[in-house]
């Protein structure tokens, strides 16, 4: 290697660049924008389909199930594609923060448009839902992958992950101010039916702009496309060193029971998030009879969610990530059962469900640490580093939860005899209890099952992780 190249490596390469202040404090603003955008779907998609587009419950179930099933089936491939194709101009991962996000607002808006009547309208919504999710999942996975690229030490990676979680949960607080009011603003301009399409477009633009901010923050942390023979050879050698075959990836999953347990348990966390978000509007419309209080509930619950994320590191340091997560799931379930038995007391429900959201904030911040433990376990067990593969699998329970969200919500509404023609003021007790089953009871049962799975099936403790890491280091030396 030439002297010039050595000097360049010593001063300007991504390996030697410490985290900037921008990354330390503002990495996650893109996730804030992403969550603002996807909250339109979480809170209003089912309501749009039933009450504005006025599809039958059978059609609504078909739309949400088909779109979310395809999305879930594709959830594992994005990391594999990013790792296998030729890196783009600005790096293997960083490039995707600018290449695709600008397409999302246009595709996402069509998910909330009813164009004509009949099957064509449903088909357009399904296609828009699938395409928008495919397009935004590439930058989403690339964005998460940049944590490992820019964070060269465990401390750096923890800093980035913690900051990202705080910004992502803060988006829910912001959404409580801008979500419903923005939709109401557009309803007065372009009509009630198209209000969520316009909201989705505007917040999609916000996401694209903030992902561009991430793109700028990561400048210099990932090597761009190389053209010199020496750089190409060096890059290929680095790739070959940690190359994993298809069977290596299968073993990383099949010989990793704690990972399988964690994937199942993580499904409950995401299901709580998506189902409760989707049913909330029905609770305040048909049970509390005060739809305007939805914004207040979103605000209070998500402030507590942010607080939970902030305190998670302290709880983990005292009790371990595993035990904190298990205890949090149990406590969340208890408060949700209490809310069900007090479902006609709106303020009691707001308080109890907001405490449950505090628990969600804790779990949201801690589950990445549990996945990191399974990565160490996998390398100790198989001798292969499958970090990218296991990190990408975190997307699977998220997507499956989105898929089951529509089934759970539609099933609960059908059980209560829901119809968009029903006057909210005259909603039957049966309908109210069915709404509360989806809002409180079903997610609570899932959380209890998750706690049991983690307690008996996830046996990786802090001491064991340290032991595994020492043995891995000994092998490498």
| Interatomic CA distance for residues 100 and 139, integer angstroms | 7
- Tell which phi-psi region holds residue 418, choosing left (phi > 0), alpha (psi between -120 and 50) or beta: beta
CATH superfamily of 30-225: MFS general substrate transporter like domains (1.20.1250.20)
What CATH code is assigned to 245-476?
1.20.1250.20
What are residue 91's DSSP bridge partners? 88
First-to-last CA distance in the chain? 25
Measured in whole angstroms, how far is the alpha carbon of residue 94 from the centre of its chain? Answer: 19
Considering only the C-alpha atoms of the chain, give the largest distance between any 2 of them, rounded to a whole number of Å: 81
| Interatomic CA distance for residues 406 and 396, integer angstroms | 16
- Tell which phi-psi region holds residue 151, choosing left (phi > 0), alpha (psi between -120 and 50) or beta: beta
- Residue found by looking up tokens 């996650």 in the block: 28
Task: Output DSSP code: residue 420.
Answer: T
| Interatomic CA distance for residues 438 and 427, integer angstroms | 16
CATH 1.20.1250.20 in the chain: give the residue spans. Answer: 30-225, 245-476
Phi, psi of 95 (to 5 degrees): -55, -35
pTM of the model: 0.74
Q: What is the CA radius of gyration of the chain?
A: 23
Helices (H), 283-345: 293-319, 321-341
Measured in whole angstroms, how far is the alpha carbon of residue 291 from the centre of its chain? Answer: 26
| Interatomic CA distance for residues 112 and 197, integer angstroms | 5
Task: DSSP for 4-69, please give it.
Answer: HHHHHHHHTSGGGPPPPHHHHHHTTHHHHHHHHHHHHHHHHHHHIIIIIS---HHHHHHHHHHHHH
Q: How many residues does the chain have?
A: 477
Burial class (CB in 10 A: 0-12, 13-18, 19+), 389: buried
Task: DSSP for 105-145, please give it.
Answer: HHHHHHTT---SSSHHHHHHHHHHHHHHHHHHHHHHHHHHH
Dihedral of the CA atoms 165, 41, 136, 61 (nearest 10)? 120
| Interatomic CA distance for residues 304 and 465, integer angstroms | 31
- Residue found by looking up tokens 């101010």 in the block: 177
Task: DSSP for 236-249, please give it.
Answer: HHHHHHT---HHHH
The answer to whether 218 and 146 are in contact (CB under 8 A) is: yes
Measured in whole angstroms, how far is the alpha carbon of residue 269 from the centre of its chain? Answer: 10
The secondary element (H helix, E strand) that includes residue 278 is helix 257-282
Digit-by-digit pLDDT tens for the chain (477 residues) are 444 433 443 444 555 578 888 998 899 899 999 999 998 998 888 888 988 888 888 888 889 889 888 888 888 778 777 766 777 888 878 899 999 999 999 999 999 998 877 788 999 999 999 999 999 989 988 888 787 677 766 567 667 777 888 898 888 888 878 888 999 999 888 888 889 999 999 999 999 999 999 999 998 887 765 554 455 555 555 444 445 555 656 666 667 889 999 999 999 999 999 999 889 989 999 999 998 898 889 889 988 988 888 788 788 878 888 899 999 999 999 999 999 999 999 999 999 999 999 999 989 888 877 887 887 788 788 777 666 677 778 888 988 888 788 889 989 999 998 887 888 888 899 999 999 999 999 999 999 999 999 999 998 887 887 788 788 778 776
Q: Please, which residues have CB within 8 angstroms of residue 246's CB and are 6 or more apart in sequence?
A: none
Burial class (CB in 10 A: 0-12, 13-18, 19+), 304: buried
Burial class (CB in 10 A: 0-12, 13-18, 19+), 25: middle
The answer to whether 257 and 383 are in contact (CB under 8 A) is: no
Q: In degrees, to the nearest 5, what angle opens at C-alpha 45 toward C-alphas 408 and 427?
A: 65
């Amino acid at each position: 290697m030439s002297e010039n190249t050595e000097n360049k490596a010593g001063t300007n390469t991504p390996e030697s660049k410490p985290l900037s202040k921008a990354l330390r404090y503002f990495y996650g603003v893109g996730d804030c924008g992403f969550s603002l955008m996807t909250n339109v779907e979480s809170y209003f998609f089912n309501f749009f389909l039933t009450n504005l587009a006025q599809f039958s419950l059978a059609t609504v179930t078909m739309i949400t199930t088909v779109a979310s099933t395809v999305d879930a089936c594709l959830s594992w491939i994005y990391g594999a594609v990013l790792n296998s194709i030729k890196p783009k101009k600005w790096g293997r991962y960083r490039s995707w923060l600018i290449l695709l996000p600008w397409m999302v607002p246009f595709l996402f808006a069509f998910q909330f448009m009813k164009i004509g009547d009949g099957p064509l309208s449903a088909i357009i919504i399904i296609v828009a839902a699938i395409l928008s999710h495919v397009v935004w999942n590439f930058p989403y996975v690339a964005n998460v992958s940049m944590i490992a690229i820019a964070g060269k030490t465990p401390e750096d990676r923890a800093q980035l992950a913690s900051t990202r979680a705080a910004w992502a949960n803060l988006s829910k607080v912001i959404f409580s101010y801008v979500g419903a009011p923005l939709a109401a603003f557009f309803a007065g301009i372009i009509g009630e039916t198209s209000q969520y399409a316009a909201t989705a477009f505007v917040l999609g633009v916000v996401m694209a702009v903030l992902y561009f901010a991430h793109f700028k923050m990561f400048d210099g942390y990932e090597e761009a496309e190389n053209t010199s023979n020496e750089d190409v050879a060096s890059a290929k050698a680095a790739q070959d060193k940690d190359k994993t075959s298809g069977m290596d990836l299968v073993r990383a999953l099949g010989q990793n029971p704690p990972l399988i347990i964690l994937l199942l348990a993580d499904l409950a966390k995401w299901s709580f998030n998506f189902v409760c978000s989707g049913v909330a509007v029905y609770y305040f419309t048909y049970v509390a009879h005060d739809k305007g209080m939805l914004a207040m509930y979103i605000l209070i619950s998500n402030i507590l969610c942010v607080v939970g994320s902030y305190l998670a590191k302290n709880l983990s340091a005292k009790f371990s990530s595993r035990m904190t997560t298990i205890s949090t799931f149990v406590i969340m379930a208890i408060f949700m059962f209490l809310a069900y038995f007090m479902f006609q007391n709106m303020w009691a429900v707001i308080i109890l469900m907001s405490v449950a959201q505090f628990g969600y904030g804790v779990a949201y911040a801690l589950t990445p640490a549990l996945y990191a433990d399974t990565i160490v376990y996998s390398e100790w067990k198989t001798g292969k580093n499958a970090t990218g593969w296991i990190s990408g699998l975190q997307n699977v329970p998220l997507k499956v939860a989105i898929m089951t969200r529509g089934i759970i919500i539609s099933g609960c509404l059908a059980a209560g005899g829901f119809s968009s023609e029903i006057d909210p003021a005259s909603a039957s007790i049966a309908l109210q209890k069915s709404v509360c089953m989806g809002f409180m009871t079903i997610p609570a049962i899932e959380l209890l099952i998750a706690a049991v799975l983690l307690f008996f099936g996830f046996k990786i403790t802090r001491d064991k992780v340290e032991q595994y890491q020492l043995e891995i280091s000994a092998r490498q030396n």
